[in-house]
Amino acid sequence: MLSKIRVGNKVIGKGEPVFITSEIGQNHNGDVGIALDLINISAYAKVDAVKFCKRNIDKTLLPEALKAFYNSKNSFGKTYGEHRKKLELSEDNYLLLRSQAKKKGLIFYASVCDEDSVDVLENCDAEMYKIASRDLVNLPLLEYVAKKGKPIMLSTGMSNEYEIEDAVSLIKKYNKQLILMHCTSQYPSDYDNLYLKQIPLLEKKYHCLVGFSGHSIGILMPLVSIAVGAIAIEKHITFDRKAKGTDHAGALEVEGLRRIVRDVRNIESALKQIGERETLIAERSAREKLGKGLVAKQIIKKGEMIKAEMLTVRSPPVGMIPRYAAVIVGRKAIKTIQKFEAIGLNDVGLNYFDLDFEKLKQDLESFEWKKLLEEKNKAVD
């Protein structure tokens, strides 16, 4: 398993920023002008990549499907073939889109549905490939793409574990740069069909980096996917969620896309690891204001043996921290300590380097802490 995969000037993998793709797909509705606008919107939102979808309609549909009458509110033609062809952009269009994406600093790639489409993307110098869920079982296409030697994202919707195993094995035979994308092929996807906990299971079973290609409404689920291990996410973008077409309803408009990028980056910051827990720099002012210190509950005379009931805990933390009370108790004061005066190790003739931390650990386990909180002594009133 590769822990990191380089795509253009980006690195995808564990410990790297989540790779965020604005999935334009065919939400341009066959209009290259809209496609260019969606690239610009994606750049504004600060995603890493834009993705389209390319097909050779005549080579991906049976003649009967091409001629089939298509009566749908989302139809762009009288037949299914006319509908699908209306949504396709030309190779010249793709060259223009690739140029615009590069100008905006975005990785450019597409879902490819046939060998001709792969060739178009090669001519456009695409930096990676996506295999959609519908083509996971299309092993000839997987082999053709894998041999190009570029990173591949493979969605796992509509498939079972044996089909995923076959696909992964075939791709890795030629190309180790594989990212599985957990996916539910329902448009839009219901929350109870997402099964996001499959993400770590896919990683463990198939020894691949795993991302999330989401079709649910809103921005929450891609964010949750990161918390369970997704290293890349795809989210559909649209110019209008009410627009004609099957992928618009579950897509994001510009403000939603901007927010999802913002929240992803905030989550990354929140998930940073620091090793053992310690007081953070950002917490120091709060500790200085709200922390607790060990003080005398009453006057303790010089030479007097200090007992737990002579001490109490107060804010701000002017004295030593209460966890060292067990060191103080049972020792004689080397000076007179006034009521509410902070108590330190030096008040019993010790310093930090005198502490036996193994013994302190044992003392802490047996120490009667409640005596530091009892307010029976009238001197406190």
Residue 378 pLDDT greater than 60, yes or no = no
More confident residue, 223 or 246: 223
Q: How far apart are CA 196 and CA 225, in angstroms?
A: 6
Environment class of 211 (CB within 10 Å of its CB; exposed 0-12, middle 13-18, buried 19+): buried
Q: pLDDT by residue (tens digit) across 288-319?
A: 888 888 999 999 999 999 998 999 999 888 87
ω before 200 within 30° of 0 (cis)? Answer: no
Report the candidate in 35, 47, 3, 12 with the shortest Cα–Cα distance to residue 260.
Answer: 47
Contact 13, 5 (CB under 8 A): yes
Q: pLDDT by residue (tens digit) across 186-238?
A: 877 889 999 999 999 999 999 999 999 988 888 899 999 999 999 999 999 99
**Which structure tokens are listed for 363?**
């003392």
DSSP one-letter code for 347: G
Q: Where are the alpha helices (DSSP H) in 175-321?
A: 198-206, 220-227, 254-270, 284-290
Element spanning 110, H or E: strand 107-112
Structural domains of the chain, ranges and CATH numbers in brackets: 13-270 (3.20.20.70), 281-380 (3.90.1210.10)
pLDDT at residue 375, as a whole number: 56
Contact 122, 135 (CB under 8 A): no
Q: Where are the alpha helices (DSSP H) in the chain?
A: 32-45, 57-60, 63-67, 80-86, 91-103, 115-123, 139-146, 161-174, 198-206, 220-227, 254-270, 284-290, 325-328, 357-366
Q: pLDDT by residue (tens digit) across 263-286?
A: 999 999 888 777 777 777 778 888
Q: pTM for the complete prediction?
A: 0.81
pLDDT at residue 261, as a whole number: 96
Q: How far apart are CA 153 and CA 163, in angstroms?
A: 16
Residue 120 pLDDT greater than 60, yes or no = yes
- Number of alpha carbons in the 13 Å side-chain half-sphere of residue 286: 5
More confident residue, 321 or 7: 7
More confident residue, 313 or 180: 180
Report the candidate in 150, 151, 205, 166 with the shortest Cα–Cα distance to residue 182.
Answer: 205
